[in-house]
Amino acid sequence: MRGRLAGKTVLITGAARGIGADTARLAAAHGARLALVGLEPLLLRELAAELTGGGREAAWFEADVTDSAALAGAVAGTLERFEGIDAVVANAGVASLGTVATGDIEALARTVQVNLIGVMRTVAATTTPMIAARGHYLLVSSTAAFAALPGMAAYCAAKAGVEHFGNALRLELAHHGVTVGTAHPGWIDTDLVRDARADLPSFRAALGRMPWPVGSITSVDRCARAFVRGLERRGRRVYVPRSIAVVQALRTVINSRLGGAAVTRQSRELVPRMEAEVAELGRAFGAHSAEEVGR
């Protein structure tokens, strides 16, 4: 399966599990060398061992994307091992539970710090080697950048920020030959989505009422394939599934007063239910989130 990534070094944040791990596996199958960055050293070590051998190479680095010094160490280690960085997948992300009115403000702030500021710090830490390689960035945004949902205020804000950060970054780096893409997954069958479905009956009810294409759940494998295809083609946009492009095209209508009317009607019922469910849980992140596992 060797292709355009053969011999290229790809640095992935949030690589320990889910989309990051599966993207690493598929990129390795396409001949890439992997720098795996994340918060869960045991999982990172196991994945690096899995992706090493038979002509494949992988290294892992424990780093929080909100910590520039830790990211600098991961980048230095990558350059020492592989002598360059050809692509970066800024994938690390979290989603807090609850609304602004009743949720944990520190969890809301952490969501923005990881999902948006973490992307900025990842890019800042890698621009020098990426300019040298005329590389490609894939910044992971979301369908949430196009459509607001109650209970996801911080997540929506962060992902919308990633999209527009990517748009500006693309202009800043174009003269260096560096390209920038943004990825916009819908609901992917990750721990994040599974935890939300398990924790919150109100989320399950809301998901069941969502129209096509935002009401469906996509496999992690399909998402990883779209990401790797985006890396190989140096794509400007990656939609998972591809029908999410419709949501972007209709974003003005979706976020208009008319478009929001139906969501508002449902929110009057579902938001109080969700707030009560989160209060009963007694935690601000999903059970399998690195924010909870690391405690």
Catalytic site residues? 155
Of 295, 293, 275, 294, nearest to 104 (Cα)?
Answer: 275
- What is the amino acid identity at position 129? P
220 close to 189: Cβ distance less than 8 angstroms: yes
98 close to 278: Cβ distance less than 8 angstroms: yes
159 close to 115: Cβ distance less than 8 angstroms: yes
Backbone conformation region of residue 177, classed left if phi is above 0, alpha if psi is from -120 to 50, else beta: left
Q: Which residues contact 189 (CB under 8 A, 6 or more apart)?
A: 217, 218, 219, 220
